[in-house]
Structure 1
Amino acid sequence: MPLIPLYAPPPAPVVAAPQTGLIAYPPVFFASSGAANAFEMLLRLPGFVIDGGEQVRGFGGAAGNVLIDGRRPSTKSDDIEEVLRRIPAGKVERVELIRGGAPGVDMQGKSVVVNVVRKAGGGRRGLVAMANGVVVKDGRSIPSYRLEASGDQDGRTWEASLRQGRGIDDGAGGGPGVRTDAAGRVLSRSDIRSQGDGWQTTATAAYELPVAGGRFRINGRLFTDRFRTDETQTFTVPTAGFQQSRSRSPETEAELGGRFVRSVGSKSEIELIGLRQTEDEAYRESFAPPVGPSSEFGVQQRSSESVGRVILRVRRSEQLSWEAGGEAALNKLNSATRFSENGAAIPLPAADVQVREKRAEAFVNVTWRPSPKFQVEGSLKQEASKISSDGDVALAKALAFTKPRLAVSWTPKDGSQVRLRLERIVGQLDFDAFVAEAALNQGQVTAGNPDLNPETAWVAEAAFERRLSWGATGVVTLRHFRLSNVVDVGPVFSGDGSVFDNPANIGPGTKAELQATITLPFDRLPIRILRVKGAQLRGDTTWRRSRVTDPTTGEMRTISGLRHLEWEAHFTHDLPQWKLTWGVDAFGAWREAYFRSSNKELVKLRTYVTGFVEYRPKPNLQLRAELQNATSRGLRVTRYLYDGPRGAAPLAAINDRHLQFGPMVWFRVRRTFG
């Protein structure tokens, strides 16, 4: 039994479909860029920025804004960028940009999604890619390789991939460390040298075939990482000395998932999803200062997640569709933490915990298009969970939340669209917040807190999109969040009277976001003198503001870790006559602030710029050279230390670390087969 389409695609690949909310881009639209896979195609899509989804438990809440053949990938741990990279450009029939929704399309709670529609059949394909980079400052080599293969025959498809490579921490590096008192007098001065890297391996496989009148797909992923960081500080003031810290963080992740889809009658289908994830992770850090006690911190964690999800979709007509379903999940975490000074154990709150969570969610979504100009999407979700903790903290609690959503889009004329959304969202408790963590080289230990409640918010969103006839696209989006149970940092007292910081609910708050996205093709600019054939500029900027009451000082401040400004810009110039593409990618500087009971930390990262040149001597061969971090972006961390609680105690010292990483030079070769 063939599967029915859940939405009505345009009758033929077109670049515009007036007042339907759906624009289809055929492969020829991306041909001049030489895109080799679906990911590179989406990078050229006007007015769209890939959202990989949230790293949360469960399947429904982790959705991004990319569909494959009208459905989400049946994996959580596999990054959407990697999923798209494994779809060759020759396998893509068209790319559909769906704005505001369309009957039968699972918008996954997003205002805009992309659907990558693949061609049927096509035989076998393969890819071999090799790369090597060099860290200019220290000469470290960064080798990596990728192998991919896929096939499609007689309704059965399969794919497999293997990636290995060395990952580099560009937040490490070398630079000065200075500690001053409140009056600016230098208390200590040092030269910092740090390196962070690790060898990563990722293997994936999937197989899909017809089963019982539908289609069944099974997929698996295995990931390992052996990351290490080493740091040495050489002091010159007040006296000569050395300080060393080392950390090791081996990690192994495994996932097995499956999906079955089958038509039920002529207007509906049922979808079943199941997956199982496990993660084993350890973190060990040792710290030896020039004066004072040495310390060690270690944590061993094993977590697992089992999820089952069922969805019934019904498309009543071209204008009306609905879906209903439910999801159940079981999550577990076992964590053991140790902290010692000079070999003597120091007790930490919530050091050893075992957490178990049972979650269930029922939902119904309705999409209605009363006229070609209007689209209405409404959904209602009911979530219930039970969390229990054993070990150092024994507790059990039940939580329940109702999550309504209403989204309306209006397309007054071709090229313009207004989108409105009102939704209640419920954050998910991060199991990492339940256990202690440390950064000993900065004198920081954070306790765990299993007794957190999820952060909730009412979100109001308004977006305006304009697509001009000569190809330029702009989208402006404004969001306002009314927050409850904000998860931030608060003080906690251990059994021996020591004071630690831990994740805590600190009350209500607000957050506002203004996002602007623009795509500007230069070949049809209204100003003739500025026209450059094959050139394009894409940019995305987000401004954020927030307010919350500080639990230590009682004053209003921003939420910890919130970046006030983020931006990125991408310029590409395609020269097909020379088989070349060159470009520049820039990721803007950002700043984060963290507020703890007796210190405040500012983290700053400068603008990151990469230049590249691609040469395609043959359609199946690509050579690429990159200069990454051309601006030598560095990480600067400034900590303001107080003699007691902030707001009541005087400023005692300021620690400033400014590490410069430097550029990296990369060379890549990619060869496709089939």
Structure 2
Amino acid sequence: MMRARAHLGSLLAALAAGLPVGALADTELKAIEVEAVLDAVAEQRYAAGQKVVFDREDIASLGGLSVSEVLRKLPGLERGADGMEGASASARGMARDSVLILVNGERPTASGRHALTVVGRLPAGELERVELMRGGSAEFGVTAEVVVNLVVRAPQAKPSRSLKATVGLRGDEPNLQLTGSVEGGVAERAWTLPLTFNRHRMPVDQQRMRGDPAGVVADERTLGSYRVDELILSPRLSLKDGERRLTVWPSLYLNNGWRRQQLSAGGVDTRVDRERSDMRIARLRADASMPLASVDGRLGLRLAVMDGDRRTDTRRLPAVGTAAVEALERSERELTGSARLDRAVGAHLLTWALEGAVLSRKDAQEAGSATVLALRRHDLRETSAAAWFQDEWTFGGADGDTFTLTSGLRVDGLRQRSGGGQRHTEAVSPSLALRWAFAPAWVLRTSVGSGLRAPKLDELSPVVTRSAGVNTPLEPDLGGRPGLAAERIQRFEIGVERYLGGERSVLGANAYFRRTADFIERTLADEAGRWVERPANVGDARHWGVELSVRLDSAALAGTLPAGGSLRATLTLPRAEVDDARLGVRRIANDTPRHVSSLGYEHAPSGAALRYGVQLRHTGTVRTARASELQGTNRSGTRIDVHVTRQLAPGVDLRLAGENLLGARDRHARVARDDDRRWQLAGRDGGDRTWLLTLEGKW
């Protein structure tokens, strides 16, 4: 009982900082061992579920300028993006919703972009830690292959100030980031006031080769630049009264973007595209935590409200013909909340929770020529509620911690309204996970669960965005499908870990299997003479594969790695197949990579003034094969990033980071067929190198 109470006390202190129970409760399984809190590998070992932790040193070694860039570089994830719609990523070769991103334990709504947009643009130094969790649970559900929890640094009462300036080049475009932060407090009150200004400049360099059914082949080159200016104000206030805690987190995000690109074919200019966008997001989040003596537990509460607006204006000016105009205005309002109770009973850690969210969105789209515009309006609304219970039971062995059995049940209800139609989705999702420390340095983990994943609002919206240039099956208009059904998912995972070097190094292997009924992929159709791509329930799908991971430090490989060196490597071998009911064939899932791998080395001896690191990422050929309808491949090459940090004085660092040193470009080739007609599209994008120089001081 004493062990369980100590476990719960440290757990609930972490909950007050906004962290999920599944992410931190496990870290204190051996509550008297402070090492389990401080060391990321030890925390991974004693976690009830599959978890990998990146602390501040690990985050710095990734070299990302912003939180979104850190997310894009995390080992085991691929095809991460840092676009206007916020942070995103994918895993295990699944492009759609395979990664669930939390912010201090907060689950996003179907929109999900707003908290991630604000947090994703913050400097990487604002992150305290990042947690990657695999396997099913009642807390996180089973629909996402990987859950990523971004833990933002909590304010400290100790007065401090910091300034950070980054300048550099992405290709030949200048970039700038300026960040200042003031922090302080007295007694039980702490606050931090960070202000960030980003000036992103990104070159546009695309090459395309097209072939149409008439046999005409055309080469096209697009050159231009994409500029974004951002201002992020994200203060945080923490109040304590004994064991009672309250955190208030308002944030304001302003974004102004401009894209200009010029298209040419055969050396002759054919069109100029201009796009201007403006975004504003205001958000307020409050977290409270308090002990409940009557049940010997702790209650956590969270409430967040958001108001966001965005406008995008696009003009396409051909050398000959009429200009095309498109404008989209979007306003979104969001209210989310949760309540949870955590309680230790003997060797059991019990959690009850309620979650709810209401999201409304209004879209107004104008499209046509400069003189004739068609106006479309569309309203969407989503209301969701969930209740879940989880029991983490630790037992067995001399210390009573050989086994940890985590059982749970999650009940979700969702109501979505798109235009005049409504849909209701309910799901009861059981889950079971086991951790077994079957030998002194070995841990086996396995989990099983099922659940339901509803479509996103964007996938239900009938609003169609017209393709930028020609309209073909390979460059279609994009739209949603109001009648889309939810996916039904079943998952199983099993993995083993071997710990080395006094728990500071680990080797891991994991196998996974997933079955999805009513699997959603994007499909093509000819609608009134224009090709439109929309999501559809194409049939049943199966995803499976193996993941291998290595984390080693110099203590585990004495004489092989220099003192202060650490090595991290991952390899994912994903496989997927779909029983396509529409085509009547069994095929691979769209955009499935042959493999995804990463290798990183960090040299940071204790007390050294010079630190450096290198990271290599490679994705094998990504394939699409929809019978004779569509065939495609994508090759992204190998990316190498490096960074060197020199301490100029106590509290003052100078850092040089280089990204994509090999100039790797995305190369793609696709062929589409419709009866006896054939279209071909091949091209390459990107390849720009980035150099960033950062001067940072803290006092």
Query: Fold conserved (TM > 0.5)?
Result: yes
Superposition pairs for residues 140-539 of structure 1, below 5 Å?
140-169=173-202, 172-173=204-205, 176-180=207-211, 187-210=217-240, 214-236=244-266, 240-265=268-293, 267-289=296-318, 294-317=323-346, 319-340=347-368, 344=372, 352-371=377-396, 372-390=401-419, 394-433=420-459, 434=461, 435-441=463-469, 443=471, 444-469=476-501, 471-491=504-524, 496=528, 498-522=530-554, 524-525=556-557, 528=559, 530-539=560-569
Quickly say closer, same or farther: Cα 1:440–1:50, change in 2 above 3 A: closer
Q: Secondary structure at the match of 2:169?
A: strand
Q: Aligned equivalents of 1:100 and 1:599: distance in 2?
A: 33
Contact kept, 8 Å, 1:332 with 1:356, in 2: the verdict is yes
Q: Is 1:654 aligned with 2:686?
A: no
CA distance in 2, matches of 1:323, 1:522: 39
Cα distance, 1:25–1:362 mapped onto 2, change above 3 Å: closer
2:114 aligned with 1:86, yes or no?
Answer: no
> What is the one-letter code of the residue matched to 2:391?
V
* Alpha-carbon separation, structure 2, partners of 1:419 and 1:25: 13
Aligned to 2:83: none
Question: Counterpart of 2:507 in structure 1: which amino acid?
Answer: G
Query: Which is further off, 76-85 or 504-513?
Result: 76-85
Task: Indicate the larger mover: 630-639 or 270-279.
Answer: 630-639
Which letter maps to 1:636? R
Determine if contact 2:54/2:131 at 8 Å carries over to the other structure.
no
Distance 1:280 1:55, change over 3 A: farther
Q: Which amino acid aligns with 2:647?
A: R
Q: 1:19 to 1:441 in 2, by over 3 A?
A: closer
**Aligned position for 2:19:** none
What secondary structure sits across from 1:507 in the alignment? strand
Residue 667 of structure 1: aligned partner: 693
Distance across 1 between alignment mates of 2:660 and 2:520: 33
Cα deviation for residue 282 of structure 1 reads 2.6
Per-residue CA deviations over 1:238-281 (Å, capped at 9, x if unaligned) read xx442322333322222211111111116211111111123322
Conservation of the 8 A alpha-carbon contact between 2:477 and 2:532: yes
Match of 1:130 in 2: 165
The CA distance in 2 between the partners of 1:63 and 1:219, in whole Å, is 18
CA contact (8 A) 1:156 1:209 kept: yes
For 2:588 and 2:392, the matched residues in 1 are separated by 37
Q: Deviations over 1:495-522 (max 9, x none)?
A: x565522122222211123222211224
Amino acid at match of 1:670: E
Distance (whole Å) between structure 2 residues aligned to residue 336 and residue 301 of structure 1: 7
Alpha carbons of structure 1 residues 48 and 245: separation in structure 2 relative to 1, 3 Å: closer
Summarize deviations over 1:522-564 as a string: whole Å, max 9, x none: 45426x4x34222222122322221124466433333334444
Shift of the 416–479 alpha-carbon distance from structure 1 to 2, 3 Å rule, reads same
Distance in 1, matches of 2:117 and 2:155, equals 26
- Note the C-alpha offset of 1:455: 2.2
CA–CA distance in structure 2, aligned partners of residues 26 and 550 of structure 1: 38
1:540 counterpart residue number: 570
SS in 1 for 2:34: coil
**Cα distance in 2 between the residues matched to 1:398 and 1:478:** 34
Distance 1:35 1:286, change over 3 A: closer
Change (3 A) 1:634 1:551: farther
Q: Map Cα deviations across residues 567-602 of structure 1 (whole Å, 9 max, x no partner).
A: 222111225575101121222245555689976664
* Equivalent residues of 1:18, 1:414 under 8 A apart: no
Following superposition of structure 1 onto structure 2, how do residues 580-659 of structure 1 map, counting pairs within 5 Å?
Answer: 580-589=610-619, 592=622, 602-642=633-673, 644=674, 648-651=675-678, 653-659=679-685
Structure 1 residues 45-64: aligned runs within 5 Å: 64=102
Q: Distance in 2 between matches of 1:219 and 1:157?
A: 12
Amino acid at match of 2:161: G
The Cα of 1:606 is off from its aligned counterpart by 2.5
Corresponding residue pairs, total: 627
SS at match of 2:562: coil
Give the conservation status (yes or no) of the 8 Å contact 2:48–2:404.
Answer: no
Bigger drift between 377-386 and 263-272 goes to: 263-272
Would you say the 8 A contact 1:121–1:153 is kept in 2?
Answer: no
Note if contact 1:144-1:165 (Cα within 8 Å) is conserved in structure 2.
Answer: yes
Q: Which amino acid aligns with 1:521?
A: D
Query: Deviation per CA, 1:110-165, whole angstroms, max 9, x where unpaired?
Result: 999999899996511221100100234x3x21011111222243111212211111
The 1:101–1:82 alpha-carbon spacing in structure 2 relative to 1, beyond 3 Å, is farther
Cα 1:639–1:285 change in 2 (3 A) is: farther
What TM-score results when the alignment is normalised by the length of structure 2?
Answer: 0.78
Whether contact under 8 Å (1:490, 1:552) holds in the other structure is: no
Aligned to 2:603: 573
Asked if the contact 1:629/1:664 (under 8 Å) is kept, the reply is: yes
**Contact kept in structure 2, 1:337 and 1:436, CA below 8 Å:** no
CA distance 1:48–1:263, change in 2 (3 Å): farther
Alpha-carbon shift at residue 367 of structure 1 (Å): 0.7
**Structure 1 residues 570 and 460 mapped into 2: Cα distance closer, same or farther (>3 Å)?**
same
CA contact 1:593–1:603 (8 Å) conserved in 2: yes
Which runs of no fewer than 5 residues in structure 2 stay unpaired?
1-5, 12-24, 81-86, 91-98, 107-113
- Unaligned segments of structure 1, at least 5 residues: 69-73
In the alignment, the residues of structure 2 paired with residue 587 and residue 27 of structure 1 have an alpha-carbon distance, to the nearest angstrom, of 18
Structure 2 counterpart SS, 1:448: coil
Mapped contact 1:218–1:259 kept (Cα < 8 A)? yes
Match of 1:315, SS state, is strand
- Equivalent of residue 13 in structure 1, options 13, 21, 34: 34
Query: Does structure 1 retain, via aligned residues, the 8 Å contact 2:575–2:594?
Result: yes
State which of 580, 586, 594 in structure 2 corresponds to 1:556: 586
Q: 1:376–1:84: structure 2 CA closer, same or farther, 3 Å change rule?
A: farther
- Residue aligned with 1:437, SS: coil
Partner of 1:569, secondary structure, is strand
Deviation track 1:270-297 (CA, whole Å, cap 9, x = no partner) reads 1111111233223333334456664333
Distance 1:80 1:425 in 2: 28
Residue number in structure 2 paired with 1:71 = none
Point out the more displaced range, 402-411 or 218-227: 218-227
Contact 1:325/1:363 (<8 A) preserved? yes
Q: Deviations over 1:299-349 (max 9, x none)?
A: 2211222112111111112x21111121221111111223325755579xx
